[in-house]
A and B are shown apart, each in its own frame.
Chain A
Amino acid sequence: MFDYLQYVRQENFPHIWCAGCGDGIVLKALIRTMDKLGLSQDETVMVSGIGCSSRTPGYVDINTLHTTHGRAIAFATGVKIANPDLNVIVVTGDGDATAIGGNHFIHAARRNIDLTVLLYNNYIYGMTGGQCSPTTPRGANASTAQHGNLEPAFNISGLAIAAGASFVARGDAYHVKKLETLIGKALQKKGFSLVEVVSPCPTAFGRRNKMASPVKMMEQLRDTVVSVEKWEKMTGEERKGRFRTGILRDIEKPEFTAEYAKLIEKMRPEE
């Protein structure tokens, strides 16, 4: 048994998320990882924007900041620059981070500032009533696409890699032990780290797409996720309808707050 209670604000439970929502599963993986790495609750800050996943800070007993729609990464950047010793975690969703917050997302990746971004990708705007997000799959139903979405979806991990992130991984809410490993690597990385977590939203996405049951959504993850290692050996035909999880990028490059500290040293007047 793992004791989650020391890490949560029990007075706010039961949490607001729907039955079978992946948000709670991902939060638990994050808590176990923080515990494993021995991250101090006092020196860890969680920043979120708006959306279902952005409710997460209300439940964790660390320093938390619930900000405005799409701006979590901007606030987190300020926190990190003001005190680079803090572990700064951003919790966001596909709508929050890649639609209204898209510019903050790509430029934080380009800047390579040491933030860990946990991005819950559930393919939809859950909180506001199931509108299409930038990752709603083509053909899927949404309240703003009742005859099927016409637009192609963003590949969030691909976007982060192209923008310059030093660590990018994709996990999912079914394979929770693997998710823990990926979050751990992201937290330890000095640089912009993204973990895109494919996570079920049975209410806003599932109900409109013949997967109203949380179990069905989890089964779909079980049956469509492929490891990056296996993915490499698959043909285009075999990859259809599946997606890969694992580490997609892990490189070393100058980190923004470290470079900033060097500049401060350089500009210090001589005694």
Chain B
Amino acid sequence: MAGEQSASKKPAVITVNTNWCKGCEICVAFCPKDCLEMEGGKCRVARPDDCIKCMLCELRCPDFAITVE
């Protein structure tokens, strides 16, 4: 579907709620594209352009702190 295709081509918007993030590193360790890093004990979005929107970071974050759109 054309609509779906254009949606998937849109660059990912990854948002970290640093007030809720506890720095467990789970999202960083299991991102298949190495998009995320740790900085000052919190997750930081380092390479959003490489994101394939697999959603694994959002699914596994124990703190409801990271979202991918």
Contact = CB atoms under 8 A, between A and B. Distances in A.
Interface of A: 1-2, 4, 8, 13-15, 17-25, 28, 173-174, 176-177, 202, 213-215, 218-219
A77 to B, nearest CB: 30
B24 A4 contact: no
A13 B25 contact: no
B22 A14 contact: yes
A143 B60 CA distance: 29
A24 B30 contact: no
Given A1-B68, A1-B69, A15 B63 contact: yes
The interface centre, meaning the residue of A25, A202, A219 with most chain B CB atoms within 10 A of its CB, is A25
Contacts, number: 62
A25 B69 contact: no
B52 interface: no
B26 A214 contact: yes
Interface of B: 19-20, 22-26, 29-30, 58-64, 67-69
A202 B25 CA distance: 12
Contact of B64 (A20, A28, A176): A28
Contacts of B58: 1-2
18 contacts: A1-B68, A2-B58, A15-B63, A18-B22, A20-B24, A20-B26, A20-B62, A24-B61, A24-B64, A25-B62, A28-B59, A173-B60, A214-B24, A214-B25, A214-B26, A215-B29, A218-B26, A219-B29
A173 B24 CA distance: 14
Nearest to B29: A215
Contact of B62 (A4, A8, A21, A219): A21
Given A19-B24, A20-B26, A4 B69 contact: no
A171 B1 CA distance: 35
Contacts of A173: 60
Nearest to A32: B59
A173 B60 CA distance: 8
Contacts of B30: 215, 218
